[in-house]
């Protein structure tokens, strides 16, 4: 027997978590589009962002939603450092090297987080923690609604950055044709750093919201990163709107499947979805949907 | 691999000397703990050689623990529930891993680097979930004690070393064979390989089967040797270790996984003074540095500075 209230809540949860996936997917997509690399350690930026938000809230007493901005700033700096120190050095070598470097980064970030914050889950308490908006039979936590709003604002900002600014145009040009962009006088290195920084910032925002809605632990990043990966395959390369639709679909599908199968299947379901997507579109990002 | 022409080249001599050296180690009265570490090194050499064989075809798996775990579970369950001979269990476990490897390979062989990495990673998680869900036979997340394969540590030592030698020889001959040639052609340029008549999908699948079989052997031995098995065997740490070891030693070489396993486990043991979390960070840093500064692995150093050995 299916409980309609629980199902409705499951769908709402799907949308809320889908929003977080959208931010991850948009960041990964941006980095992939421009640099043609996949940062498997993208989830670690999410984790770092969540802990930065936690610190800003816990140590400095900043409102968690304001702390999102602070966390984005810090993680951007980390992202730029990672790009300069690691990824820029292996651009153009074997693609496997990206995977290896990312793995090394995952170890470094995850276990450094364990050292700093221990592996006990932590949570961020917002002023709205216990207030809910009642809509007939279901009630939604304000935190989810605010998170959805924050994601919308960030995505609008991303659109403005990509469509209206000079560096955004340079990023789009580089993602279409790197050599032509270079010939047009675009500093491709600068574009790379910017994309990586923006991508990291998006992951940090995703992490902060994730920490606000759920809880934080050092290993929280890996699965959202994998899911974001599935979403960009689902949504198509370089398409932010594809990432939005894909993210929502993925959040809904995952939560509905978990609802029917039970919690221990959550991760397996996420990967089964990814594998299903890849079997249907084996070329993934390089498919016709460009 | 460097080219050794005559059968008694210095490389063969080196191999013989190492075998004799390794075989005599237990005769000296040394700390049993060191024997334990050497056995673990042996198991990891088998395991990372299997990973390296798959990587030789250009496919880097992030979910090799699926084969390690499935091999270990299948064989020990057969031994416990049906009382079959553990040696038969070894073959059965490895064959089961090979079958699963082929099935997983079917979804993977058409995928490019990143997608393959993600999908293999996913299969390890799915395998872990299924094993945990089948708790009426697998005891779920708690696991169970496994019967012993041979009676004592020294017996294990020689069994593992024997399997290491068989594995290394097998990988060596696979890589030198027509199959190995096809695999490296596919790795270097799949389009060119296909245009010269190599069925890339078929060979990639074959690489999956062979690699899963060898990983299954490692899994069975590990399960018997450690004395218990739980679904922790599917942890991502177990998936990443053979990768880290192969990359450290040198990708696409027979010697890489050997050197890599020895180096990584030695580092791990040498760093016993700091806690495991800090050791993980060191391993991560080490991997990043190797990829950036020594992409061909430690074996490239040895090749450069110890030419006489080849």
pLDDT digits (tens, 9 = 90+) for A198-240: 999 999 999 999 999 888 999 898 888 888 887 887 777 667 7
d(CA B178, CA A253): 45
Secondary structure (H, E, C), chain B: CCCCCCCCCHHHHHHHHHHHHHHHHHHCCCCHHHHHHHHHHHHHHHHHHHHHHHHHCCCCCCCCHHHHHHHHHHHHHHHHHHCCCHHHHHHHHHHHHHHHHHHHHHHHCCCCHHHHHHHHHHHHHHHHHHHHHCHHHHCCCCCEECCCCCCCHHHHHHHHHHHHHHHHHHHHHHHHCHHHHHHHHHHHCHHHHHHCCCCHHHHHHHHHHHHHHHHHHHHHHHHHHHCEECHHHHCHHHHHHHHHHHHHHCCCCCHHHHHHHHHHHHHHHHHHHCCHHHHHHHHHHHHHHHHHHCCCCHHHHHHHHCHHHC
Q: Which residue has the tokens 């099935």?
A: B103
**pLDDT at residue B32 in the model:** 87
Q: Which residue has the tokens 């699926």?
A: B66
Task: Share the mean pLDDT of chain A.
Answer: 86
Contacts of B84 (CB under 8 A, 6+ apart): B78, B92
Pick the residue from chain B with its C-alpha nearest to A93.
B295
Nearest-Cα distance to chain B for A275, in Å, is 6
Contacts of A115 (CB under 8 A, 6+ apart): B277, B278, B281
Cβ contact A275–B125 (<8 Å)? no
pLDDT tens for each residue of B278-296: 999 999 999 999 999 998 9
CB contacts of B114 in chain A (<8 Å) are 38, 40, 95, 98-99, 229, 284
Across the range A106-126, mean pLDDT stands at 91
Are the C-beta atoms of B275 and A95 separated by less than 8 Å?
Answer: no
CA A214-A216-A219 angle, to 5 degrees, is 120
Q: How many residues does chain B have?
A: 310
Cβ contact A112–B55 (<8 Å)? no
For an interface test with B, which of A84, A88, A94, A104 has the most B Cβ atoms less than 10 Å from its Cβ?
A: A104
pLDDT tens for each residue of B263-280: 999 999 999 888 889 999
Q: How many residues does chain A have?
A: 290
- Asked if the model's pLDDT at residue B16 lies above 50, the reply is yes
When CB atoms are compared, the residue of B281, B286, B292 closest to A86 is B292
What is the Rg, in whole angstroms, of the alpha carbon atoms belonging to chain B? 19
Q: Which residue has the tokens 């990967």?
A: A271
In this prediction the ipTM stands at 0.86
- Asked if the model's pLDDT at residue A13 lies above 50, the reply is yes
**pLDDT at residue A237 in the model:** 67
pLDDT band at B249 (very low <50, low <70, confident <90, very high): very high
| % of chain B with per-residue pLDDT over 70 | 96
| Residues of chain A contacting B, Cβ within 8 Å | 38, 40, 86, 89-90, 93-101, 103-108, 110-112, 114-115, 222, 226, 229-230, 233, 264-265, 267-268, 270-272, 274-275, 278-279, 282-284, 286
Nearest-Cα distance to chain B for A274, in Å, is 7
Instruction: Kindly report which listed range (B115-119, B184-188, B306-310) carries the lowest average pLDDT score.
Output: B306-310
pLDDT band at B37 (very low <50, low <70, confident <90, very high): very high
When CB atoms are compared, the residue of B107, B278, B280 closest to A279 is B107
Cβ contact A115–B287 (<8 Å)? no
| % of chain A with per-residue pLDDT over 90 | 41
Q: Is A215 helix (H, G, I), strand (E, B) or coil?
A: coil
d(CA B142, CA B119): 26
- Asked if the model's pLDDT at residue A5 lies above 90, the reply is no
- Asked if the model's pLDDT at residue B4 lies above 60, the reply is no
Across the range A145-154, mean pLDDT stands at 90
CB contacts of B236 in chain A (<8 Å) are 222
pLDDT band at A192 (very low <50, low <70, confident <90, very high): very high
- Asked if the model's pLDDT at residue A273 lies above 80, the reply is no
pLDDT tens for each residue of A166-175: 999 999 899 8
A28: nearest Cα among A11, A15, A6, A46? A46
Across the range B28-51, mean pLDDT stands at 91
d(CA A22, CA B87): 51
Choice between A230 and B89, residue whose per-residue pLDDT is larger: B89
> How far is Cα of residue B37 from the mean position of the Cα atoms in its chain?
16
**pLDDT at residue A2 in the model:** 59
The DSSP bridge partners found for residue B214 are none
Instruction: Kindly report which listed range (A178-182, A286-290, B286-290) carries the lowest average pLDDT score.
Output: A286-290
d(CA A23, CA A26): 5
pLDDT tens for each residue of B208-245: 999 999 999 999 999 999 999 998 899 888 999 999 99
**pLDDT at residue B53 in the model:** 95
- Asked if the model's pLDDT at residue A54 lies above 60, the reply is yes
A74's tokens: 């810090």
Task: Share the mean pLDDT of chain B.
Answer: 89
Are the C-beta atoms of A250 and A230 separated by less than 8 Å?
Answer: yes
d(CA B138, CA B222): 17
């Amino acid at each position: 027997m299916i409980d309609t209230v629980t199902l409705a809540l499951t769908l709402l949860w799907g949308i809320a978590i889908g929003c977080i996936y959208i931010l991850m997917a948009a960041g990964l997509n941006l980095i992939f589009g421009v640099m043609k690399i996949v940062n498997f350690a993208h989830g670690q930026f999410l984790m770092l962002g969540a802990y930065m938000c936690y610190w800003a809230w816990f140590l400095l007493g900043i409102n968690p939603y304001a702390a999102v901005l602070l966390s984005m700033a810090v993680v951007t700096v980390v992202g730029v450092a990672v790009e300069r120190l690691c990824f820029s050095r292996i651009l153009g070598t074997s693609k496997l090297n990206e995977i290896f470097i990312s793995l090394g980064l995952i170890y470094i970030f995850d276990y450094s987080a364990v050292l700093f914050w221990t592996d006990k889950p932590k949570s961020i308490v917002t002023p709205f923690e216990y207030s809910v908006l009642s809509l007939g039979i279901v009630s939604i936590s304000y935190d989810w609604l605010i998170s959805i709003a924050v994601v919308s604002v960030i995505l609008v900002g991303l659109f403005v950055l990509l469509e209206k600014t000079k560096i955004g145009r340079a990023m789009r040009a580089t993602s279409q044709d790197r050599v032509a962009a270079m010939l047009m006088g675009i500093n491709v290195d600068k574009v790379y750093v910017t994309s990586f920084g923006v991508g990291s910032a998006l992951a940090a925002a995703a992490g902060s919201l994730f920490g606000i809605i759920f809880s934080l632990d050092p290993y929280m990043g890996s699965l959202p990163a994998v899911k974001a990966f599935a979403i960009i395959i689902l949504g198509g390369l370089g398409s932010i709107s594809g990432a939005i639709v894909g993210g929502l679909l993925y959040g809904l599908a995952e939560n509905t499947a978990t609802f029917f199968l039970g919690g221990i299947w959550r991760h397996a379901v996420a990967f089964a979805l990814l594998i299903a997507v890849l079997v249907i579109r084996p070329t993934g990002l390089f498919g016709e949907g460009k | 691999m460097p080219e050794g022409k005559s059968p008694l080249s210095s490389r063969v001599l080196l191999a013989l000397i190492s075998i004799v050296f390794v075989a005599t180690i237990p005769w000296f009265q040394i700390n049993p703990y060191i024997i334990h570490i050497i056995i673990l090194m042996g198991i990891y050499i088998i395991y990372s050689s299997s990973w390296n064989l798959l990587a030789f075809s250009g496919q880097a798996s992030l979910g090799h623990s699926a084969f390690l775990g499935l091999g270990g579970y299948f064989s020990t369950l057969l031994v416990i529930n049906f009382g079959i001979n553990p040696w038969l269990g070894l073959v059965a476990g490895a064959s089961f891993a090979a079958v699963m490897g082929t099935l997983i390979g079917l979804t993977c062989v058409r995928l490019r680097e990143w997608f393959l990495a993600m999908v293999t990673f996913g299969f390890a998680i799915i395998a872990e979930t299924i094993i945990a869900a089948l708790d009426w036979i697998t005891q779920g997340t708690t696991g169970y004690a496994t019967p012993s394969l041979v009676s004592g540590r020294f017996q294990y030592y020689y069994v593992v070393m024997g399997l290491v030698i068989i594995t290394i020889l097998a990988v060596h001959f696979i890589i030198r064979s027509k199959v190995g040639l096809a695999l490296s052609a596919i790795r270097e340029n799949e389009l060119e390989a296909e245009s010269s008549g190599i069925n890339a999908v078929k060979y990639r699948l074959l690489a999956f089967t062979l690699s899963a079989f060898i990983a299954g052997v490692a899994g069975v031995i590990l399960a018997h040797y450690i004395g218990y098995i739980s679904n922790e065997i599917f942890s991502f740490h177990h998936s990443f270790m053979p990768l880290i070891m192969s990359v450290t030693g040198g990708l696409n070489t027979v010697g890489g996984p050997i050197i890599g396993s020895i180096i990584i486990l030695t580092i791990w043991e040498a760093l016993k003074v700091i806690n495991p979390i800090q050791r993980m960070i060191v391993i991560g840093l080490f991997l990043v540095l190797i990829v950036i500064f020594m992409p061909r692995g430690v074996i490239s150093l040895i090749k450069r500075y110890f030419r006489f050995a080849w």
